[in-house]
């Protein structure tokens, strides 16, 4: 029998946390490369991103249960409230507590960064709550992909750079689009897997609206665009040539896409391991992108 601690770890959905970590790591690497690194701000930015993601996962667990979306034929990882392993009341309390910790971790960043960071911080929390919560939740309206791209991409990277140097050049917003696109792919796999169940539950995701084939096509487009962003920044002299190291992640991503497209909808549960693989590709691409940017001064020095 699983311990209570392991149940709460499962509720936090650790495999999804790379979505929060990856853009922050890229932002930190850019700050290091440009001589802007500020350790307290970097650590707190990473901590805040993780706490917001964990709180959002807690909230999704209880919100989907209350909306009746966690059906008996669910294909994805189990939800702890619907399984009766955590009460809805306890999950709501954990959500509030974890969001509260995120706010506390961001106090210094808000004092340092001022209004822009206050706006980003509270908008991130609102996005986390609105993802599945409320009558007009983003996931149920099919517009969550836009917010995932924005908050796990340009906003996360630019915000991480800003709290360290208090500026955010256009190049960091462009760089942030790469992890944003790859984060959308995590959502796409989740929604491709759950298309039939979501349609029955009234969850009008992008895949329910546009279809499985569209989702598979968008997945590969996102891979190619994420690969082109470092190339474009290098060609525009906004990033060093060593950022092309991130292109090593593209074949891995295409291999994962090839595996995804061979799985028939009737066997969608087989997509679960590829959800984790997609998250790992995001991490690999972000780390290689960041290392390429951060190591260049050492290579030429």
Write out the chain's pLDDT in tens, 301 residues: 568 889 899 888 888 899 999 999 999 999 999 888 999 999 999 999 999 999 999 998 888 787 765 556 566 677 778 888 889 999 999 999 999 999 999 999 999 999 999 999 999 999 988 887 766 788 788 888 999 999 999 999 999 999 999 999 999 999 999 999 999 999 999 999 988 888 887 788 899 999 999 999 999 999 999 999 999 999 999 999 999 999 999 999 999 999 999 999 888 888 888 989 999 999 999 999 999 999 877 777 6
For residue 129, being part of any structural domain is answered with yes
Asked whether the whole model's pTM tops 0.75, one would answer yes
How many independent structural domains does the chain possess? Answer: 1
Helix, strand, or coil (residue 14): helix
Cα separation, 119 vs 47, in Å, equals 18
Summary count for the chain: helices (H), strands (E): 14, 0
- Give the position of tokens 């630019």: 158
Query: Cβ(37)–Cβ(168) under 8 Å?
Result: no
Q: How far is CA 238 from the centre of its chain?
A: 25
User: Residue 24 falls within a domain, yes or no?
Assistant: yes
- What's the chain's Rg over C-alpha atoms? 19
Domain hosting 61: range is 4-296
Closest of 144, 143, 180, 138 to residue 159, by C-alpha: 180
Residue 71 lies in a domain: yes
* 301 is a domain residue: no
* Spatial distance between the Cα atoms of 63 and 281, rounded to a whole number of angstroms: 28
In this prediction, residue 199 carries a pLDDT of: 83
Contact 260, 193 (CB under 8 A): no
């Amino acid at each position: 029998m699983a311990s209570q601690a392991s149940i709460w770890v499962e509720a936090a959905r650790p495999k999804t946390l790379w979505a929060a970590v990856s853009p922050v790591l890229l932002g930190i690497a850019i700050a290091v490369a440009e001589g802007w690194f500020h350790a307290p701000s970097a650590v707190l930015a990473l901590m805040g991103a993780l706490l917001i993601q964990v709180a959002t996962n807690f909230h999704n667990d209880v919100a989907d249960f209350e909306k009746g979306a966690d059906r008996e034929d669910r294909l994805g990882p189990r939800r702890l409230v619907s399984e009766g392993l955590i009460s809805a009341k306890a999950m709501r309390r954990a959500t509030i507590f974890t969001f509260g910790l995120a706010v506390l971790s961001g106090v210094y960043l808000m004092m340092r960064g001022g209004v822009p960071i206050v706006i980003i911080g509270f908008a991130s929390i609102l996005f986390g709550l609105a993802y599945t919560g409320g009558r007009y939740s983003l996931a149920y309206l099919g517009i969550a992909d836009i917010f995932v791209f924005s908050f796990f991409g340009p906003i996360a990277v630019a915000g991480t750079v800003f709290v360290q140097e208090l500026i955010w050049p256009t190049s960091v917003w462009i760089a942030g689009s790469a992890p944003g696109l790859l984060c959308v792919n995590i959502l796409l796999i989740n929604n491709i897997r759950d298309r039939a169940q979501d349609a029955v539950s009234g969850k009008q995701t992008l895949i329910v609206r546009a279809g499985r084939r569209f989702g598979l096509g968008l997945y590969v487009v996102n891979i190619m665009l994420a690969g082109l962003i470092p190339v474009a920044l290098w060609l525009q002299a906004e990033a060093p040539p060593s950022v092309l190291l991130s292109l090593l992640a593209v074949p891995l991503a295409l291999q994962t896409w090839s595996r995804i497209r061979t799985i028939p909808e009737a066997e969608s549960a087989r997509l679960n391991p590829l959800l984790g693989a997609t998250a790992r590709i995001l991490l690999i691409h972000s780390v290689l992108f960041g290392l390429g940017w951060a190591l260049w001064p050492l290579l030429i020095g």
